[in-house]
Amino acid sequence: MKALLIAAVLIMSASPAWAHKLKLFVSAEGGEMVGSAYFAGGGKAAGLSGHVIDAAGTVIASVHTDENGAFRYTPPDGRAYLIRFESGDGHMAEARIGAAAMAEAPPPALTPASDMATLELALARQLRPLREQIDALESRARLSDIIGGIGFIFGIFGCFAWLSARRRGQP
């Protein structure tokens, strides 16, 4: 009876598998939303349909990923938005992009303020791939994660074996 209770507790405390978790990366570049959808293992989520949702929960646009899992959308204004993608097999990812990030594109005239805005836009374009790589690396299963999981399983079976041997030794 105790073994059944322990098994029930272990099953209820298990977390969902993240092997094919859909991930979404979104940033703002000069008034545009630019991003990509990919799976936790690093595979690109090509051909997915997504929605751009405003603060009131209204879908204002549909977006689609290309063959590399990338998408681009220019919103009608600089408000905050929620971007949601669903893969059709139960996986869903969403990301918020704030109003501060959705600032308008820099003006074309060369002034000190526009030089700074141009520099910020160029910097954002250079940093976006690095941020995507960091996010993808954080979501990958490492060898230490796999070995730790196997060790956890052996530990659970060891506890069952110990309890079973201890119970048999008692009259």
One domain for residues 154 and 86: no
pLDDT per residue over 13-57, tens digit each?
555 544 467 888 888 777 788 888 888 766 788 888 899 998 888
First to last CA, the chain: 17
**Per-residue model confidence (pLDDT) at position 93:** 85
One domain for residues 88 and 52: yes
Domain span at residue 9?
Answer: 2-15+144-169
Domain count of the fold of the chain: 2
pLDDT per residue over 61-107, tens digit each?
899 999 988 898 888 887 888 899 888 777 888 888 877 666 654 44
**Per-residue model confidence (pLDDT) at position 100:** 67
State the CATH number of the domain containing residue 103: 2.60.40
One domain for residues 54 and 130: yes
One domain for residues 92 and 136: yes
